[in-house]
């Protein structure tokens, strides 16, 4: 199998990427698995795609192998699109997600159901061994629940509702079909399937 370095420390993301790209004969590996220290990358882009490219280019420069990086986040209508690109840093860089969720729900306290619309966005940047850059984006529209539910997923999944169910309540297959990352990775799959000889 061809190895692609996934520029993340999030094991859940690596698993999602592996599931979707596996049919192409791609094995998703972390930088740590290859003994590569990505260091601290300053994600100071204004968009999800800016940050995805920053991470991908930093990893590619260090390893020279095909790289995939993503940046994603939650955009809440009633909060003017926040937390957006600051989703991972919302409420503090190192605060755990249960605290971020509690902060989000407190900010939405009193907001009626019909005004709790939100969407997840995902930007994926892939740099091939040749240096070619592939950029794709995905989106999933939903709403914010009044309380967390479900035992799966990660991040804001317990409070993001699609069809009345939280992302954390979906099976892996359901989430791949509906999610922003699943949407973006399917587009990446299509792009890579046309470049099999270059992988």
CB 11: neighbour CB atoms within 10 A? 11
Task: Kindly name the residue from 22, 50, 70, 71 that is annotated as catalytic.
Answer: 71
Is 70 assigned a catalytic role? Answer: no
Q: Which of 75, 78, 77 is nearest to 90 (CA)?
A: 75
H or E stretch at 160: strand 160-162
Active-site amino acid positions = 71
């Amino acid at each position: 199998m061809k190895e692609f370095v996934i520029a993340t420390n999030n094991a859940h993301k690596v698993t999602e990427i592996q599931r979707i790209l596996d049919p192409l004969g791609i094995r998703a590996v972390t930088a740590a698995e290859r003994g590569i220290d990505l260091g601290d990358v300053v994600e100071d882009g204004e968009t999800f795609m800016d940050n995805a490219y920053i991470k991908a280019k930093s990893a590619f420069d260090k390893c020279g192998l095909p790289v995939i990086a993503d940046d994603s986040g939650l955009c809440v209508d009633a909060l003017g699109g926040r937390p957006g690109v600051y989703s991972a840093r919302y409420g503090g860089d190192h605060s755990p997600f249960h605290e971020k969720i509690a902060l989000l729900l407190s900010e939405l306290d009193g907001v009626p159901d019909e005004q709790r619309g939100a969407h997840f966005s995902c930007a994926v940047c892939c740099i091939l061994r040749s240096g070619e850059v592939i950029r794709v984006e995905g989106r999933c529209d939903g709403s914010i629940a009044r309380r967390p539910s479900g035992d799966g997923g990660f991040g804001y999944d317990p409070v993001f509702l699609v069809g009345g169910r939280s992302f954390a309540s979906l099976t892996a297959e359901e989430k791949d079909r509906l999610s922003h990352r699943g949407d973006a990775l399917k587009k990446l799959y299509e792009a890579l399937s046309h470049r099999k000889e270059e992988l």
